[in-house]
Structure 1
Amino acid sequence: METLRPALQRVYMIRVSGYRDAMKSFIEGYQEGVQQALEKKENSKTEEDADASKKST
């Protein structure tokens, strides 16, 4: 069993690094999506405010 230990540790570390990279990529994509949603919300609010000011004049 002791002879397998280094090989199993390498396999484990490779899998861990794969999961870590996948999570990092997911988080970055999620943050980009949230940022785009916030920007879209701000843009629509600005357009609504502009339309409201045009109608009141």
Structure 2
Amino acid sequence: MKEQHSKNNVDSLVEQINSNIASSKEIETSIEKLEVKKKAIYNKVNALRMFIQRRKLEME
């Protein structure tokens, strides 16, 4: 009886660990996607800054 209880506890812990690993992988993937989006936004902002600077120079 005690062995079965211990086995159930171990199985439960292994299941929780596997679930946490899966969640961690999902979070890592989400972070990677956000980093790609951040770079794209940064590039767009820089392009807009350059465009504005060029317009200012043209108006002078």
Under a length normalisation based on structure 1, what TM-score does the superposition of the two structures give? 0.82
- Alignment correspondent of 1:9: 13
- Gap runs ≥5 in structure 1: none
Aligned length: 56
Tell whether 2:56 aligns with 1:52. yes
How far 1:55 sits from its partner (Å)? 1.9
Runs of 4+ with deviation above 2 angstroms = none
Tell me the CA shift for residue 52 of structure 1. Answer: 1.4
Scaled by the length of structure 2, what TM-score is found?
0.79
State the distance in 2 between where 1:40 and 1:3 align.
56
RMSD over equivalenced CA pairs, Å: 1.2
Larger Rg: 2
Q: Which residues of structure 2 form unaligned runs of 5+?
A: none
